Structure 1
Amino acid sequence: MRKIVIGIIIICLYCFPFVYFSMHLDFANRSMLGYLFMIIVTSLLAFFGKLFSKSISLIIGNILSVIISFYFISEMTGNERWGGYFKPLTPYQLLILVSFLNLIPQFFALMLANRYKKGNK
């Protein structure tokens, strides 16, 4: 029961549109801190998700985060400057690229959680 509840909490935390938030901070403030925030938070979620729950919650959470980010990015596409800011990529292409690249630190966090679990047994 505990793993199910923790899995649901992890999924809910992943529902934050991390990629949209990062892109919006980049566009509005010319700041890359949103991408750093995204990497740190999603890596921590992956670590604790693997440590206390099953990996399926991480997969579902990442998919939901991309879907929610896609929705918010589609709401911003009416802004001409938004579409041209991320050239040569479109905002949708950048969403896919950043989402894919964000899986890399999460994978390392999963490996670290596996080592931590094996060391404590």
Structure 2
Amino acid sequence: MAILYCFPFVYFSMYQDFANRSMLGYLIMIVVTSLLAFFGKFFSNSIPFIIGNILSVITSFYFIHEMTGNERWNGYFKPLTTYQLLMLVSFLNLIPQFFAMNLANKYKNKVND
């Protein structure tokens, strides 16, 4: 499960926003990471969630760092820098994941009763 989280979700979303002027990447990120959080909590515990989110931020940071030479990329996300947006989106992406994990707990308890 943690390996699936290694995908640079935030970078992918930011790149889709930058290249295609599309917010679809952010929606895909929310749906996929929420599903990963749901199934991770339903079938195991919170460890893949924690490790996976850390790995996703690290891989996103790497790819964003590679794009820093592109002047259009650096100015696109104003007033935030790309790194600030990475941290903000990563943090905000935790919110639907917590809801998904809570839903998984409720569903798991309902199935076990």
- Aligned twin of 2:90: 99
Give TM-score scaled by structure 2 length: 0.98
Structure 1 residue runs of 4 or more that deviate by more than 3 Å after TM superposition:
none
For these two proteins, the number of residue pairs brought into alignment is 112
- Aligned twin of 1:84: 75
Q: Which whole-Å deviations, capped at 9, do the CAs of 1:10-51 have from their partners, x for residues lacking one?
A: 101000000000000000000000000000000000000000
Q: What is the correspondence of 1:1-80 to structure 2 with a 5 Å cutoff?
A: 10-80=1-71
TM-superposed CA distance for 1:61, in Å, is 0.2
Distance 1:41 1:53 in 2: 18
Q: Secondary structure at the match of 1:84?
A: helix
- Aligned twin of 1:4: none
Instruction: Please provide the CA RMSD for this pair.
Output: 0.4
Q: Secondary structure at the match of 1:120?
A: helix
TM-superposed CA distance for 1:76, in Å, is 0.1
Q: Which amino acid is the alignment partner of residue 112 of structure 1?
A: L
Is residue 111 from structure 1 mapped to residue 86 from structure 2 by the alignment? no
Task: Note the residue ranges of structure 1 that are not aligned, 5 or more in a row.
Answer: 1-9
Q: Which amino acid is the alignment partner of residue 73 of structure 1?
A: I
Q: Which amino acid is the alignment partner of residue 50 of structure 1?
A: K
Q: Which amino acid is the alignment partner of residue 105 of structure 1?
A: P
Distance 2:48 2:28 in 1: 20
Task: Note the residue ranges of structure 2 that are not aligned, 5 or more in a row.
Answer: none
